[in-house]
Structure 1
Amino acid sequence: MNTNYDLTEDIRNYWSRRSKTFDFAFGHRIAAGREAEAWAQPMRDHLGEPPCRVLELACGTGEVTRLVHDLGHDVTALDFSEDMLAIARAKHAGKPRLRFLMADAGRTMEPDESYDAILCRHLVWTLVEPEAAFADWFRIMRPGGRLLIFDGNWAKPSPSGRWAAHLLALWDRLSPDPHYDGAMSDAHGTIMERLPFGKGLTFDMLAPMLADAGFNMIERLSHDPIAKAQRRTNGLRNGLRTRVYDRFILTARKPG
């Protein structure tokens, strides 16, 4: 059996199992107010003037979906877990300009040049065949289209985040969080060791790969405004979590 197929199914099963408690875990649910505004600002700045036809890859339970849709865009929210999609559909039942699609973010099967913009949050590190995925995203994007990626290096704490990781490890031993499945958990670990980005994902790794796929105007934006908003609206434990990993926002364009 194809090894990549096996890994893809393991990833699908992992996220499907997490679907019912996903929104209880820090980093997935987006609180209204300051945090939602911080997430929405890069979308407002870099997806184009609404209404654009936007593809959200790996939409999960539909948290980012809400923000993109509220900006006035026509949204297709894609995920390969039916369990995740069921929750997202229930959240957004009856909304116009919104469709949900069950498909693989690495092989969308969508028509050529059919989207003005593509975005994803915390997806790229899970890609089984990233080069093929980026080529597919380039194919389905219209000339002049925009790409917006929120992601990070989840393989190990950043040098400045090691102290926070140590405090969290102690905290978790004393009082385990039933909903938070951190990037260093056993479940994550068994998947990550088999992924192309299993040893880490950085902007400097990702940018040349996107350039090879044909994208240009590739830029890094700071994730700090989001982290600061999260610290204002969450407790100390989750505030520490914002300091552990190196997170980044990437924007790019398809020439046109």
Structure 2
Amino acid sequence: MTTHSSNFNLRDEIKEYWSMRAATFDEQPGHEIFSDQERLAWHDLFRRHLGDGTGKRALDLASGTGVISHLMHDLGFEVTGLDWSEAMLEKARAKSKLRQSNIRFILGDAENTLEDDNSYDVIVTRHLVWTLVDPAAAFAEWFRVLKPGGKLLVVDGDFVSPTWISKLNKAMTGFLQSIGLKRDVAEIPQLKTHRDILARVHFSQGARADEVTSMLKTAGFDPVMADFNMRQIHRAQSKHLTLAKGLERGAQHRYAICATKP
């Protein structure tokens, strides 16, 4: 009983956190698309693993403001975006209306979608898996919802483990703070909340591709293939980041995992 209560509270906190982030979500590189170069790089990634979208139903889990949903829509997929934050969905629907897309956005839980068995050709997630409280249950749910032969594409990464550039950035930040030229980020409430949540999710030590791949295989997916070729996307994003942040993004353990339901 205690474990269930703890998980429920954590999930509530995660939901509240992302609802709070909705107002500024699209302002950040890595969330919204800021160039045709990046848009084309995402299209290439999706085509590489999911093929042509014509006639295929796609479910974008934790769809947020609809960024990935619109990229999939560009390729001809019939897209449903699912998110548990009304604040995110409000922005997604407004964006869809502005762009005159026919994307269906619904309120729901990515770990318990309530969608029908064998109902989607494709499921796509971006930066969702690292936040999951119970990834094994989520993967089983996604397996259920996919049609036989359907594909799951997980775009995620280890955003926890330090890289050489993150260590250098941390040292430089510490120096600037010590001489009063930079605010201590530990004092920023949003970042404190993020770190507190991260410490309690399943992948608190980082969502490494090998562990995610192993768990997807256990859920029944076969084959499961990890793709680490994210350079074109990161190169396009880096043009809208500081040099330090751009280098850090390129050095992180980021990947796309494509898993097929037999």
**TM-score (norm. length: structure 1):** 0.89
Instruction: Map 1:28-177 onto structure 2 (within 5 A).
Output: 28-51=31-54, 52-93=56-97, 95-159=100-164, 161-167=166-172, 174-175=181-182
Distance 1:88-1:176 versus aligned 2 partners, 3 A rule: farther
Alignment check: 8 A CA contact 1:227 1:242 kept: yes
Alpha-carbon separation, structure 1, partners of 2:92 and 2:39: 17
1:162 is displaced (CA, Å) by 2.9
User: Alpha-carbon deviations, 1:215-240, whole Å to 9, x = none?
Assistant: 01211112222112222454425423
**Equivalent residue of 1:100, what SS?**
strand
**Structure 2 match to 1:207:** 213
| Displacement of 1:27 | 1.9
Give, in angstroms, the shift of residue 83 of structure 1: 0.3
State the Cα distance separating 1:207 from its structure 2 match.
Answer: 0.6
Letter in 2 for 1:76: T
The answer as to whether partners of 2:111 and 2:138 remain within 8 angstroms in 1 is yes
Partner in structure 2 of residue 251 of structure 1: 258
Taking a change above 3 Å as real, the CA distance of residues 187 and 46 of structure 1, as seen in their structure-2 partners, is same
How far, CA to CA, are the matches of 1:79 and 1:163 in structure 2?
Answer: 36
SS at match of 2:223: strand
Instruction: State the AA in 1 paired with 2:139.
Output: F
Query: Mind listing any 5+ residue stretches in structure 1 that lack a counterpart?
Result: none
- Provide the C-alpha distance between the structure 2 equivalents of 1:121 and 1:242, rounded to a whole number of angstroms: 15
3-state SS of paired residue (2:111): coil
Are 2:201 and 1:198 aligned?
no
2:232 to 222, 225, 228: 225
Which letter maps to 2:73? H
Q: CA deviation at 1:28?
A: 1.2
Percent identity of paired positions between Structure 1 and Structure 2: 41
With over 3 angstroms needed to count, the CA separation of the structure-2 counterparts of 1:245 and 1:17, relative to structure 1, is same
1:35–1:233 CA contact under 8 A, matched in 2: no
Deviates further, 238-247 or 12-21: 238-247
Q: Is 1:16–2:19 an aligned residue pair?
A: yes
The secondary structure found in structure 1 opposite 2:141 is helix
Farther off after superposition, 116-125 or 191-200: 191-200
CA contact (8 A) 1:164 1:243 kept: no
Counting matched residue pairs gives 251
Q: 1:139 to 1:162 in 2, by over 3 A?
A: same
Distance (Å, rounded) in 2 between the aligned partners of 1:171 and 1:29: 30
What's the C-alpha RMSD, in Å, of the aligned pairs? 2.4
- Are the counterparts in 1 of residues 143 and 261 from structure 2 also a CA contact under 8 Å? yes
Shift of 1:186: 1.5
Residue by residue, what CA displacement relative to the aligned partner does 1:18-74 show, whole Å, maximum 9, x if unpaired? 110111123212213111111221112222322210000011111111111111110
Conservation of the 8 A alpha-carbon contact between 1:157 and 1:244: no
Q: Which runs of 5+ in 2 are unaligned?
A: none
Q: Secondary structure at the match of 2:160?
A: coil
The one-letter amino acid of 1:13's match is E
Give me the TM-score of the superposition, normalised by structure 2. Answer: 0.87
Moved more, 93-102 or 122-131: 93-102
